[in-house]
Chain A
Amino acid sequence: MSEDNNMTDPPPSADVPADEKAPARAGRDAMATLRRAQQLVSDAQAAIEEASRVVGQGGGARSAGGAEARLAVAESERQELASRLAEVEHQVGRLMTLYVATYQLHATLDPAEVQSTIAEIALNLIGAEQFVLLLIDDEDKGYEVRLMQGGADTRWEQSECYTGGDALVDAALADGGLRFGPTDESPALAVVPLRVQDLTVGALVILKLLEHKPAFVKEDHDLLDLLGAHAASAIFASRVYSKTARKLRTLESLIRLVNKG
């Protein structure tokens, strides 16, 4: 089976910006691979039909035997390609999910909306029923509980500072590594440190999954990785923007006062 040597990238469509991000490019590449796989399945089906036609026409025992062999090969190829197509479609779906999560995290510069997007990703894409978002406090460099969803866990109080005590959370905040639990020292199912360059600006602590989701799946690990990188930069950018906008408004007010005076 030949690989996609003769496959070319589709021309950029009008709605794809020139500075598109890697997930979008990866998504387009996967779609091109999918189209190629579809074509191969279609070719294999045509070969099966042709072989069936030859068998149907007769032409002696020898030619019928040859056609049957070709039919068997074509059928085997069709099954292999159908299996590959299913895999590629699954990959396309996975890339689409990652693309949408990235897109939505960076679609706003409002810190509250970024937090809301993180919560939506945790609930709707990962299937987390109960989770806590810790964000670094600019003033004293501690971690504040900025979002608590699913409730019913008295160890976490919204707007309170996290002072440590959960071994998994402490370890993730200390070294910036993704952690999975639960462990003897922590009930958390996963702790996703949110990192910008070398700074850990927060963590998403997943405490419980939805009832119909028994455990994390492979795709969730990609999403958690993505959250660790992109949620942090989105939070960082929105905080910087909101601070700058506030300072700008203050300066403009001062200038207006001076001009009046």
Chain B
Amino acid sequence: MNSVKNRKVLVVEDSRLIHKMYEVMLRPTTLLSAFNGHEGLDKLSQSPDVDFIILDINMPKMTGLEFLAQVKTTPALAKIPVIIVSTDGKEEDVARGLQSGAVAYLRKPFQREDLLKIINRIESEQTAA
């Protein structure tokens, strides 16, 4: 069953439309919204207890991959699962994202089921661990 428990998720994404999409798709999850990588790091410094991060790659000021590198080199944040979401669909982009430490890569446009499947997989893996 696809469902989203009441978790805390950081969304780092420059599109207001996509922020709204996550808000509707992931109810009743608590969402922390950031519109670029710098904002994302600020949010994480205030709330490091997020369950996972949904990250856009192409953003102004600090790209998703730069943000990811910062997160993975910060011991307190390194274990937070990161889902990369991007319109870039090339295999090398996917590989680059996963090599940088993301647990999953989702291409836009995506269906709600695709996102929930990934979230459920992450939650299952966390439970198993």
Q: Are B24 and A100 in contact (CB under 8 A)?
A: yes
Check if A99 is an interface residue, CB within 8 A of chain B: yes
Task: Judge whether A96 and B112 touch: CB under 8 Å.
Answer: yes
**A125 touches which of B1, B24, B107, B109 (Cβ 8 Å):** B109
Contact yes or no, A124 B112, CB < 8 A: no
What is the 8 Å Cβ interface bit string for chain B, positions 71-111, against chain A (1 contact, 0 not)?
00000000000000001011000000000000000011101
For A85, the closest partner residue in chain B by CB is B1
Q: A89-B2, A101-B17 are contacts. A124–B89 as well, Cβ < 8 Å? A: no
Give 1 or 0 for each of B16-43: 1 = CB within 8 Å of chain A CB. Answer: 1110110011000000000000000000
- Report how many A-B pairs have Cβ atoms within 8 Å: 65
Q: Which residues does chain A contribute within 8 Å of B89, judged by CB atoms? A: 210-213
A127 at the interface (CB under 8 A from B): yes
Distance in Å: Cβ of B59 to nearest Cβ of chain A: 13
Give the CA-CA distance A127 to B113 in the complex, in Å: 17
Q: Please tell me if the beta carbons of B109 and A89 are within 8 angstroms of each other in the complex.
A: no
Residues of A within 8 A of B47 (CB): none
A124 touches B87 (CB 8 A): yes
- Tell me if B113 and A212 are in contact (CB < 8 A): no
Give the Cβ gap from B81 to chain A, nearest Cβ, in Å. Answer: 22
**Residue contact A99 to B87, C-beta cutoff 8 Å:** no
| Known interface pairs A89-B113, A120-B15; A97-B21 also in contact (CB < 8 Å) | yes
CB-defined contacts of A173 to chain B, threshold 8 Å: none
Q: Which residue of A lies closest to B108 (CB)?
A: A124
User: Interface residue tally of chain A, by bracket?
Assistant: 20 to 34
**Residues of A contacting B25 with CB < 8 Å?**
93, 96
Contact A103 B20 (CB under 8 A): yes
Query: A104 touching B113 by the CB < 8 A rule?
Result: no
B113: chain A residues at CB < 8 Å are 86, 89-90, 93
Interface residues of B, count at CB 8 A: 19
Q: How far is the CA of A125 from the CA of B20 in the complex (A)?
A: 12
Over the window 104-133 of chain A, the binary record of Cβ atoms lying under 8 Å from chain B Cβ atoms (1 yes, 0 no) is 100100000000010011011111010000
> Which A residues are in CB contact (< 8 Å) with B18?
120, 124
- Given A90-B111, A100-B21, A211–B90 Cβ distance below 8 Å? yes
Q: For the complex, is A71 an interface residue (Cβ under 8 Å from B)?
A: no
**Complex CA distance for A99 and B24, rounded to whole angstroms:** 9
Compute how far the CA of A213 lies from the CA of B111 in the bound complex, rounded to whole angstroms.
Answer: 13
Question: A52 at the A/B interface (Cβ < 8 Å)?
Answer: no
Chain B neighbourhood of A213, CB < 8 A:
89, 109
CA distance A90 to B25 in the complex (A): 12
Given contacts A100-B24, A211-B89, contact A92 B15 (CB under 8 A): no
Once the chains are docked, how many angstroms separate the CA of A96 from the CA of B110? Answer: 12
Query: Is the C-beta of A186 less than 8 angstroms from some C-beta in chain B?
Result: no
Given contacts A117-B17, A125-B17, list 11 more A-B pairs with CB under 8 A.
A90-B111, A93-B111, A100-B20, A120-B15, A121-B17, A124-B17, A124-B18, A127-B87, A211-B89, A212-B89, A213-B89
Query: Which of B's residues lie within 8 Å of A, judged by CB?
Result: 1-2, 15-18, 20-21, 24-25, 87, 89-90, 107-109, 111-113
Q: Please give me the 3 A-B residue pairs with the lowest Cβ-Cβ distance, nearest first.
A: A212-B89, A93-B112, A120-B17
Q: List 13 A-B contacts (CB under 8 A).
A: A97-B112, A99-B24, A100-B20, A104-B16, A117-B16, A120-B17, A123-B87, A124-B18, A126-B109, A127-B87, A129-B87, A210-B87, A213-B89
